[in-house]
Structure 1
């Protein structure tokens, strides 16, 4: 039984998409642009960050310094969390 379980877990590990293993990262930068319709932020690092549908854009505008916690998935930087730096 343990042998079958080991084989099953090995196969499951091989067919699991690699995006599951994506690591979270963070960046501290100043907002260059906000597009609420497209759910994106552009920071002064020149990168575009995709926000989830339920994201709250209150207080976010050009010139605001933020720390963005994101995960890179399918070539997109998806925002997990965001904090405004006072």
Structure 2
């Protein structure tokens, strides 16, 4: 019985990080506009993304191509991570 429980717990702990990624999405697009006051970014896909409070806008401007990793919460696209795509 202990062996079965150990295997189940081991499997659950191994797969738990994957469940966090299951709700995450990503998009590759070009920045259309940034609003540092409202912490939002609009991409050329026409969607607006909400940026975290501690977001660093350095090096980002309209026309920069990015990959945005986000989670949709209550209809809002919340940015989890962002990567600039090299040309």
Query: TM-score scaled to structure 2, two decimals?
Result: 0.73
Match of 1:33 in 2: 33
Stretches (4+) displaced over 2 A: none
Shift of 1:38: 0.3
Match of 2:12 in 1: none
Structure 1, gaps ≥5 residues long: 1-19
Query: Where do residues 2-17 of structure 1 align in structure 2 (5 Å cutoff)?
Result: none
Instruction: Say whether residues 1:83 and 2:76 are aligned partners.
Output: no
- For 2:57, what is the secondary structure of its paired residue? coil
Match of 2:61 in 1: 61
- For 2:67, what is the secondary structure of its paired residue? strand
Please give the root-mean-square deviation of Cα atoms over the aligned residues, in Å. Answer: 1.4
User: CA offsets per residue over residues 22-69 of structure 1, 9 Å max, x none?
Assistant: 710000000000000000000000000000101111111000000000
Query: TM-score scaled to structure 1, two decimals?
Result: 0.74
Query: Where do residues 42-53 of structure 1 align in structure 2 (5 Å cutoff)?
Result: 42-53=42-53
Structure 2, gaps ≥5 residues long: 1-19
Q: How many residue pairs are counted as aligned between the two chains?
A: 66
